[in-house]
């Protein structure tokens, strides 16, 4: 407990693209859902809006109805194959080092059930919030602000690690520093305006 009391800084991570590569799982779940509900769901279009809540992605894809049914089957198929998703060993090593000095948390647009299934085996994170824990998902800052409040952390002693424009907007609205995971899903020219990092050990110089 004494070590925990000494911690007064927090690193909050997005999940998909930052800690895990879930694209194969997403593609498979979306394709199977598409067949099940008999609606064309383009993964290419879906990928453009990663970071947003699931229903927001469907809206941006111009899907006009059947949100509940699509979400139900997508969740089912994603969970069915989710055991194959792992945090990379090199990331685990870096996270264990960071945990000695900082609180580690996650804020993700993924559902609580799937998030828990992925991260519970690692016992690294002090807390995690998902789309199921907030009224408004990204790019709104509710999730980040809830985490800061729980740990009683000053905004200047917090950082959010993401890989999308929505993660950036979320951090900006919360008034905390945003660092962009260069290995993540969004690698377009617009990420040049972000502070890019190439691994987790680079975080320390910003806190």
Which CATH number belongs to the domain containing residue 185 in this structure? 3.40.50.1000
pLDDT tens digit sequence for 57-87: 999 999 988 999 999 999 999 999 999 999 9
pLDDT tens digit sequence for 117-176: 999 999 999 999 999 999 999 999 999 999 999 999 999 999 999 999 999 999 999 999
Own/partner pairs, 117-126, CB within 8 angstroms, 24+ separation: 117/79, 117/82, 117/83, 118/15, 118/20, 118/82, 118/85, 118/87, 119/15, 119/19, 119/87, 122/87, 122/92, 124/92, 124/95, 124/96, 124/99, 126/151
pLDDT tens digit sequence for 10-50: 999 999 999 999 999 999 999 999 999 999 999 999 999 99
Domain that holds residue 167: 2-20+86-206
**182 in the same domain as 103:** yes
Domain boundary among 62, 83, 104: 83
Residue indicated by tokens 């859902």:
33
How many domains are contained in the chain? 2
**73 in the same domain as 29:** yes
**64 in the same domain as 102:** no
């Amino acid at each position: 407990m004494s070590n925990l009391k000494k911690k007064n800084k927090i690193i909050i991570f997005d999940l998909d693209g930052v800690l895990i590569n879930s694209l194969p799982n997403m593609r498979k779940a979306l394709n199977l859902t598409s067949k099940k509900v008999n609606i064309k769901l383009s993964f290419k279009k879906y990928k453009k809006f990663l970071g947003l809540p699931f229903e927001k992605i469907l809206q941006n894809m111009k899907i006009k109805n059947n949100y509940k049914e699509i979400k139900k089957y997508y969740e089912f198929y994603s969970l069915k194959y989710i055991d194959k998703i792992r945090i990379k060993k090199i990331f685990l090593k870096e996270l264990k080092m960071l945990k000695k000095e900082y609180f580690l948390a996650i804020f993700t647009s993924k559902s609580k059930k799937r998030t828990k299934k992925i991260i519970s085996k690692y016992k690294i994170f002090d807390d995690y919030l998902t789309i199921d824990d907030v009224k408004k998902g990204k790019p709104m800052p509710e999730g980040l602000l809830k985490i800061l409040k729980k740990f009683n952390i000053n905004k200047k002693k917090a950082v959010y690690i993401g890989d999308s424009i929505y993660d950036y907007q979320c951090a900006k609205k919360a008034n905390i520093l945003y660092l962009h995971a260069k290995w993540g899903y969004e690698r377009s020219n617009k990420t040049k305006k972000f502070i890019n990092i190439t691994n987790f050990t680079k975080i320390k110089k910003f806190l």
